[in-house]
Structure 1
């Protein structure tokens, strides 16, 4: 039997904690997975939320407080029943129970509600902030970020073992994602430096010289729990870095971002407990790397080589190789390409523009010298073929990012670009850049002058077939019969006049 809301409220008013706990247990079990209710039920839920908010401010047994907060967490999922939860008093109460210093009172709460209750309160607060623009505005006005940030800074800088801050980090991410002014505030509070320190603690990194980290094979793989905390930190750092992406960093900021980039390199390469864990961690790492100033990404390559390193021209390519494998996996899955693939495409494109060794390495892997010219580029099963297929994708952003990467790997040379992709596939990017005539436009690329003069040597197979390659399709086509074979001179003239007439009509 489903507990009656009025019955629960009556027992709350009487202060019968045992009865409330029993009734709420039944209520939570019944509605744990429910999200949609009619208008009458929503009103009852509002009344229950208001009663519970008063109830949890009294002295409750830990089990009663926990089940009450669990009920509020269920109620906070319904956007249309949030009324009582978005008041200043409610936000202060939830923040206080979640262990956040609100500054509302000078008195310290000596009652220990337990870690479970603090997590439940933070879960409710996360739901409320996520679901209510009004709560977002009030949380900003009430300076909840400041109290939360002070808590996190103290814990990050302490000597206690890291971990157990997931919901505090989740709330920090939500506040900075939904309120632009809080990103600015967190940046001014040395957010990049402190959160980088949080990453270092979570991943137990050790520094060598400069911006290089020491690798310790004896450390266990990153666990699912640790990776989730790391991901929340990465997402918050993205909110800060993306806001200031277009600004040129000063010397101090550049040092901060280089230190962060070194830790992100570790995130890309560190072993994880499970393939899904690694994939998720790498995905958020790539997102953040794509938001950092390009001038600060040189630390991804400035790492000493060892016997297991991927290298090109004496430069460590382990990070670039990891990004390449990550891109390949995202291409193979083909899901949510705009969200999941475009960040790594953009990162590889911009890195290839400014780092010669990165471009050479990626070109060797993606655009090796052509040998098989009997198939169309988009039909190739290699990385080149997968990227060429995206050049005609229905999503404009995906199409542009794939074409841009290949164009940069060709050093923005039109003839080389057409050679590897076919004129039909290349036409979209060339038209957008005004290069359909095959010439580079003046000022077409600010990076054009930086490209080295490395040669593009053709294979023997390509040289033999070059004269027979159809530039539109990018492959050797089967010879077609002469359409005028067997026609008399008069018939040829008549066909020519017909074609001229058609051309004239098209030009009118």
Structure 2
């Protein structure tokens, strides 16, 4: 992060290093390896002309690691390999079964608990894990060998012992980083961790321990935890890696049958995720990233388990609605508002939040009413177009005409659900021009102008809106002065002539396939206009300029 990526030297001048490392003498090899690391620590791009030397160097260093080395020499060898494994064009020497077994042994994840001298040095394990992360990320061959060797089992065995062993935070972080890469890149490992190794239960416990969560009960973090000491950087970094792994292994959760035991585990996880949304974090950028991963994971979990977000005790500082604690929902709204405001990578950052809020509103009445109160308060300003302004409603309406189809559909869907899927109210808050896309997709174009009915507590018509309602242009969603009729002073012949010009223009655009004429079908959906049923008048091209 924040480092400058330098191109490697033409040949990286490793001749002397090869000679010293090849001798097998630790005392001779160590200074040369340390010098190589110091010179190339920021090297991420490599020249082709030094490729053969780098390959030979990697093989020599791997042979050294197979021997009995002092920790300092092990560390230097692994530091050298960490640099060499960045070269995507030269990974074959490191992607063999033997090389990966050597690295796994130095990382302490080979599954062998009883070894002479115990676990490797902490710094050695971290360097070995970094090498494995580079290999898994850059080499499909390494990914396959890791899957065949059962590396995920060795990582999980160590994860289970976190509470009984005092391991350095960096080891935990890179254990999780390696596990994330394996589950992201290999479907078979993802399924193995999810089903055979009960990954959700295992990682939920690790996440709980990482965040040092204290409980009032099985589904509520102790009062004061959210306002306590901020999460340290190392805690937050490790938690985010765990969240990413959980996202990978729950990606198909909505397609699975969830039994009572699993549902209880997911509710416990949701309670921890609520803590992730509300706990203070030392770094603001980290807080947003943590919230982003939390939102992504919440979107994978069963909707019936998300009610835990509302089950916390109401505190004096809580956002309360209908006697429920809405702090988590309020945090989700704040996260969405920030991401929409920035407008950067909307598809990756905004869509998960929109979908989560939509499904929560659809499944929980209290959540929907709270969101409607925050996003669509009673309409008072009828002079401004719905997409103009700085409120979240204005921002979401602007997204309804976003070039990305998925973004605009998700934004429209949330607003439609908050309107209790009432077409008249939806048009009222967004304007027919903005609402037309969703209405057309849902086949609701024919019901656009019906008033609809809703309960008294759902009625949001203010006095200002009622007074101006007759003058509101439903297409733009605001009050507009009536413009003079341009056809008042025209004769019937002139009107017919203008109508014919318009028809010719539309006909020409249709023939050139610039757009396709559509008709409203009986089911309310738009369908291509049937030329047999609605024949076009044949007009000679020369008539297009005629008066």
1:68 to 48, 52, 77: 77
Give 2:487's aligned residue: 484
Deviation at 1:219, TM superposition (A): 4.5
2:428 to 416, 419, 424: 419
Q: Residues 75-474 of structure 1: matches in 2 within 5 Å?
A: 75-102=84-111, 108-110=115-117, 113-156=120-163, 158=164, 160=166, 163-164=169-170, 165-188=172-195, 189-216=197-224, 219-438=228-447, 454-474=457-477
Deviation at 1:90, TM superposition (A): 0.6
On the 8 A contact 2:243/2:293 being kept in 1, the answer is yes
SS of 1:437's partner is helix
Residues 46-97 of structure 1: per-residue CA shift (max 9 Å, x gap): 1111111111111223222212211111111111111101000011011110
On the 8 A contact 1:407/1:413 being kept in 2, the answer is yes
Aligned counterparts of 1:53 and 1:308: Cα–Cα separation in 2: 59
On the 8 A contact 2:386/2:478 being kept in 1, the answer is yes
Deviation at 1:159, TM superposition (A): 7.2
Report the TM-score when normalising by structure 1: 0.92
Q: Which runs of 4+ in 1 moved over 3 A?
A: 159-164, 216-219, 451-454, 502-507
SS of 1:377's partner is coil
For structure 1, the 5+ residue unaligned runs are 441-450
Give 2:500's aligned residue: 501
Q: Which moved more, 1:471-480 or 1:261-270?
A: 471-480
Residues 362-396 of structure 1: per-residue CA shift (max 9 Å, x gap): 11111111111111111121100111111111112
Q: Which moved more, 1:84-93 or 1:22-31?
A: 22-31
Aligned counterparts of 1:381 and 1:206: Cα–Cα separation in 2: 39
Aligned counterparts of 2:321 and 2:168: Cα–Cα separation in 1: 37
- 1:162–1:353: structure 2 CA closer, same or farther, 3 Å change rule? farther
- 1:241–1:294: structure 2 CA closer, same or farther, 3 Å change rule? same
- 1:408–1:326: structure 2 CA closer, same or farther, 3 Å change rule? same
Aligned counterparts of 1:481 and 1:21: Cα–Cα separation in 2: 89
- 1:113–1:455: structure 2 CA closer, same or farther, 3 Å change rule? closer
Q: Which moved more, 1:30-39 or 1:353-362?
A: 30-39
Residues 86-110 of structure 1: per-residue CA shift (max 9 Å, x gap): 000011011110011246xx97242
- 1:107–1:301: structure 2 CA closer, same or farther, 3 Å change rule? closer
Give 1:17's aligned residue: 26
Residues 151-208 of structure 1: per-residue CA shift (max 9 Å, x gap): 111224x375894411011111111111111122112212111111111111121222
Deviation at 1:291, TM superposition (A): 0.8
On the 8 A contact 2:215/2:221 being kept in 1, the answer is yes
Aligned counterparts of 2:497 and 2:219: Cα–Cα separation in 1: 72
Aligned counterparts of 1:233 and 1:16: Cα–Cα separation in 2: 41
| Number of positions where the alignment pairs a residue of Structure 1 with one of Structure 2 | 494
SS of 2:496's partner is helix
For structure 2, the 5+ residue unaligned runs are 1-8, 508-534, 537-547
Deviation at 1:439, TM superposition (A): 6.2
SS of 2:162's partner is helix
Give 2:50's aligned residue: 41
On the 8 A contact 2:17/2:29 being kept in 1, the answer is yes
On the 8 A contact 1:148/1:168 being kept in 2, the answer is yes
Give me the CA root mean square deviation.
Answer: 2.4
- 1:162–1:291: structure 2 CA closer, same or farther, 3 Å change rule? farther
On the 8 A contact 1:92/1:102 being kept in 2, the answer is no
Deviation at 1:232, TM superposition (A): 0.9
SS of 1:457's partner is coil
On the 8 A contact 2:20/2:32 being kept in 1, the answer is no
